Amino acid sequence: DAGVIQSPRHEVTEMGQEVTLRCKPISGHDYLFWYRQTMMRGLELLIYFNNNVPIDDSGMPEDRFSAKMPNASFSTLKIQPSEPRDSAVYFCASSLEQETEAFFGQGTRLTVV
Amino acid sequence: GIQVEQSPPDLILQEGANSTLRCNFSDSVNNLQWFHQNPWGQLINLFYIPSGTKQNGRLSATTVATERYSLLYISSSQTTDSGVYFCAVGAAGNKLTFGGGTRVLVKP
pLDDT for res B93:
67
State the smallest CA–CA distance between residue B4 and chain A in angstroms: 12
The answer to whether the CB of B63 falls within 8 A of the CB of B27 is no
B38-94 pLDDT, tens digit per residue, is 989 999 999 999 999 999 999 999 999 999 999 999 999 999 999 999 999 998 767
How remote is the C-alpha of B55 from its chain's centroid? 13
pLDDT at A43 over 80: yes
Cα dist from A11 to A37, A53, A88, whole Å: 15, 27, 10
Contacts of B101 in chain A (CB under 8 A): 42
Of A37, A19, A41, the closest CA to residue A92 belongs to A37
pLDDT for res B15:
98
The answer to whether the CB of A106 falls within 8 A of the CB of B38 is no
How crowded is the C-beta side of B63, counted as CA atoms within 13 Å? Answer: 21
CB-based contact B93 A56, cutoff 8 Å = yes
Q: How far apart are CA A54 and CA A33, in angstroms?
A: 10
pLDDT for res A1:
67
pLDDT at A55 over 90: yes
B45 closest CB neighbour out of A55, A101, A106:
A101
pLDDT at A100 over 90: no
Cα dist from B6 to A50, B73, B89, whole Å: 29, 13, 12
Give the DSSP letter of residue B51. Answer: S
Helix (H, G, I), strand (E, B) or coil at B48: strand
pLDDT at B14 over 90: yes
Contacts of B86 in chain A (CB under 8 A): 43
The answer to whether the CB of A108 falls within 8 A of the CB of A11 is yes
Is some CB atom of chain A closer than 8 A to the CB atom of B3?
Answer: no
The answer to whether the CB of B39 falls within 8 A of the CB of B82 is yes
Amino acid, single-letter form, for residue A14: E
pLDDT for res A62:
85
Contacts of A91 in chain B (CB under 8 A): 43
Touching A: B residues 23-42, CB under 8 Å? 30-31, 33, 35, 41-42
